[in-house]
Chains A and B, each alone.
Chain A
């Protein structure tokens, strides 16, 4: 067997952790992913330090916190510095054949760094996120059969779970308990129509011959059907690895860049707001030749910037000094006890410009700018008493707020100093999508 494993990194865009069976969901959205987790290792509490898609994938590929690499907004002005370490580039130098089945390089040029092959079937669609798992898998599996030279590193970016939620018609009926999806008297989604992404949904993928979809339970069912469809793709990919005879020493990492808010916290079917529904992500690794014990679940906090150092260590590569992440490979392989972080700091700068600090007990959210929803600048949630983060207790717990705010600001200041920044990147970018939208509205 070759000493270096093949590595397949799968990003399921917008896949919310707790809508998977192996993360506690009660509907059978993910039988194959659950099986995959049972054959590998599952990390229960992994957080995205930056959301949404562009900041999070930049974090995954650089192993750096967003305050370090500077890309805090989707569609913002910041560009990734050329000297920043980038996972596929390093693996290429280590002798890996690298292949991205992905479209991100069309959004931001740095996502093209380090790929010997880039395959983009989304070119067949007007909107790249309309590409399906079947189209991506077809190309990925064909490449593995005919082109790859071991060891290889492949990145596959699935968009099925990202809006618009348009699952195959054969899934009609799944996960919906009935009622009338297009009831014109149901006004639960009316607030969403005032948001530009909601207005877009109303004018396109929620329009049906029966009328406008108005039942949020039905929209959530569409999202869950997309997960079930993705789940079929994960099974197909696993089967292909088995048939190719390379499953044993191929490290397959399944994760998401961020989660999704259904209607939580008045954020409708989108991925902003720094609540756990958006910042906690699934992370599952299958690697028969490397993982100490199949079915292991790791409870300590981990962050998406830990992925790059973990994969680099698995590849036998020396880790660059300027990574923020810590490899968890020794824990996967049973050489060390499970470990993690006692706090996580993350940010967003797209529809809101905010930071969060999360501990086992609390979530603290600090706004750099007022948000569109009229939330207060400081929010505190007791996650033990209120895991849904529904009751802001900042006013009742000023000492906790002061303590967590001091820790958050110290963390940001520390990262800024280490990166040589003189300006907080979230303050600098602001809520970029809101600013663009307001300019457009005149």
Chain B
């Protein structure tokens, strides 16, 4: 069974911007967020684990 294109009309609206900018920059807890520290040994562990799963040759 072939998937044949079916004709439909295009919608020509311009993409709408986000309704309200809300990036959390005013979040008073931002300074308390944890710092992500990816050490070389962490990256090596990621590689080792993904290699075990066959993701990486």
Contacts and interface: CB of A to CB of B under 8 A. Distances in A.
Interface of A: 21-22, 25-28, 31, 34, 37-38, 42, 44, 74-75, 106-107, 125-127, 130, 164, 166, 169, 172-179, 181-182, 196-197, 199-200, 203-205, 207-211, 213, 218, 221-222, 228, 293, 295-300, 326, 331, 337-345, 407, 410-411, 414, 432-433, 436-437, 440
A339 B18 contact: no
Contacts, number: 185
Nearest to A37: B15
B34 A176 contact: no
A44 to B, nearest CB: 8
B53 to A, nearest CB: 5
Contacts of A204: 38, 42-43, 45-46
A239 B16 CA distance: 22
A106 B55 CA distance: 11
Interface of B: 1-25, 27-31, 33-38, 40, 42-47, 49-50, 52-57
Given A28-B18, A299-B11, 19 more contacts: A27-B18, A28-B22, A28-B23, A75-B53, A106-B57, A127-B50, A164-B38, A173-B25, A176-B33, A196-B49, A196-B53, A204-B45, A205-B36, A208-B34, A209-B37, A218-B33, A293-B12, A340-B6, A343-B3
Contacts of B27: 173, 176-178
Contacts of A177: 24, 27
Given A209-B34, A293-B12, A176 B24 contact: yes
Contacts of B52: 196, 436-437, 440
B55 A75 contact: yes
A337 B25 contact: no
A433 B53 contact: yes
A278 B19 CA distance: 24
B55 A26 contact: no
